Amino acid sequence: MLEIWTEKYRPRVLDEVVGQKNVVPRLKSYVKSGNMPHLLFAGPAGIGKTTCAIALAREFFGENWQSNFYELNASDERGIDVVRVNIKEYARTAPFGGAPFKIIFLDEADALTSDAQAALRRTMEKYSRTCRFILSCNYSSKIIEPIQSRCAVFRFTRPGEGDIISYLRRIIEGEKLKISDEAVKQIAYVADGDVRKAVNILQVAASFSDGKEITLKTVFEATAMADPKDVREMIGKAMEGNFMDARRILDKLLIDQGLSGEDIIKAIHKVVIDEAGIKEDKKVIMLEKIGEADFRMVEGSNPRIQIEALLAAFGLI
């Protein structure tokens, strides 16, 4: 074996993955054994599927991991020709540097056509001696059953708010940023389990602050989202029967802040879900009305009229 396949050159990067306590130990056991099956990573966007695939390759192959790692985004190239030409040509060549196999990482594999998946099934079976596949998808149900049966399936879950805050703290410390505790918590709240989104918000907020402390106001400007306090006040006014006051807050969100109807509906939904002061029987009715308004807006209805109708319905509740 060459030097790149020794313990000395294996970085411990899987330990840096946050919020996936059920996934990382299983991946580390593959590295320890020096072998792995085909893998299927399933879960929402921005929670570490691609990161885990790259980290796994780095721990397996060391410094020259890129020589034995081929990444392909299936949403860009999703036809059968990609499987028959690009993937098959790479899979049939020998691994580099004494490694036992290579890794082909197929991101957004649920975007592959049925024909492409059928061709991929045969390729996975035929070249398993020299190549391992890692398939990443948002919806595992869109992957055909023969491929799923050939893979060890990993279900990725959304990291908790605490995991995201600890990850942001590492970045803040490394970049020497000034930021209030409220702002960090708000970023984690807005990200809603999406680590990539949280990092992007922090980056934009840092550019907005121009070297000054990042405050709660800066985060709202960076995310272009409704302040939960305004949304909570708007819902409260509507439920008290002060429809015109609620409508004035809606005007502020739509006109002054330039938010879209979809953004406001999402903010209303999140506030209603998280609001402990609303009784559960009322909350159920409110969520039903939110769903109706959202459906009508998606179908092309006027956002302002639909949200006003929603606030009116809250008043009747």
Domain boundary among 177, 205, 223: 223
Range of lowest pLDDT (189-193, 286-290, 292-296): 189-193
Higher pLDDT, 296 or 98: 296
Q: Of 223, 244, 262, which residue sits at a domain end? A: 223
| Same-domain pairing of 27 and 139 | yes
158 secondary structure, DSSP code? P
Q: What domain range is 24 assigned to?
A: 3-155
pLDDT confidence of residue 81:
67
Which position has the token pair 């990092």? 199
**Same domain (yes/no): 92, 145:** yes
Please list, residue by residue across 208-237, b when 16 or more beta carbons sit within 10 angstroms of its beta carbon and e when fewer do.
ebeeeebbbebbbebbebbbbebbbebbbb
Q: What are phi and psi of 250, to 5 degrees?
A: -60, -40
Pick the closest to residue 238 from 297, 301, 293 (CA basis). 293
Q: Are residues 206 and 297 in the same domain?
A: no
The residue that leads in pLDDT, 18 or 297, is: 297
Residue type present at position 192: D
Quote the percentage of the chain above a pLDDT of 90.
15
Looking at the structure of the chain, the number of domains it has is 3
> What DSSP assignment string belongs to 78-144?
-SHHIIIIIIHHHHTSPPSTT-S-EEEEEETGGGS-HHHHHHHHHHHHHTTTTEEEEEEES-GGGS-
* 116 and 199 inside one domain: no
Q: In what order do the strands lie in the sheet with 151-155?
A: 69-73, 102-107, 131-137, 38-42, 151-155
Residues 219 and 232 reside in one and the same domain? no
Instruction: Assess whether 183 and 233 both reside in one domain.
Output: no
The CATH number for 277's domain is 1.20.272.10
Residue 297 and residue 232 share a domain: yes
Q: Which phi and psi (to 5°) does residue 275 adopt?
A: -75, 115
Do 207 and 265 fall within a single domain?
A: no
88 with 165, same domain: the answer is no
105-159 pLDDT tens trace: 988 888 888 888 888 888 888 888 888 999 999 888 888 898 898 888 999 888 8
Same domain, 145 and 265: no
* Per-residue pLDDT reduced to its tens digit, 79-107: 676 677 777 878 888 888 778 888 889 88
One domain, residues 53 and 132: yes
Please state the rounded mean pLDDT for residues 30-44: 88
Burial 90-117 (b: 16+ CB within 10 A, else e): bbeeebebebebbbbbbbbbbbbeeebb
**The pLDDT of residue 248:** 92
- Region 240-265: mean pLDDT is 88
pLDDT at 305: 93
Say what angle helices 161-175 and 195-209 make with each other, to 10 degrees. 40
| CATH number of the domain enclosing 139 | 3.40.50.300
Same domain, 167 and 212: yes
The answer for residues whose C-beta is within 8 angstroms of residue 69's C-beta and 6 or more apart is: 54, 57, 61, 102, 103, 105
Confidence of residue 307 (pLDDT cuts 50, 70, 90): very high
Q: What is the pLDDT of residue 1?
A: 33
User: Which of these three, 170, 205, 223, is where a domain ends?
Assistant: 223
As a whole number of angstroms, the distance between CA 156 and CA 19 comes to 9
CATH number at residue 173: 1.10.8.60
Residue 291, pLDDT score: 93
Q: Both tokens of residue 6?
A: 């020794």
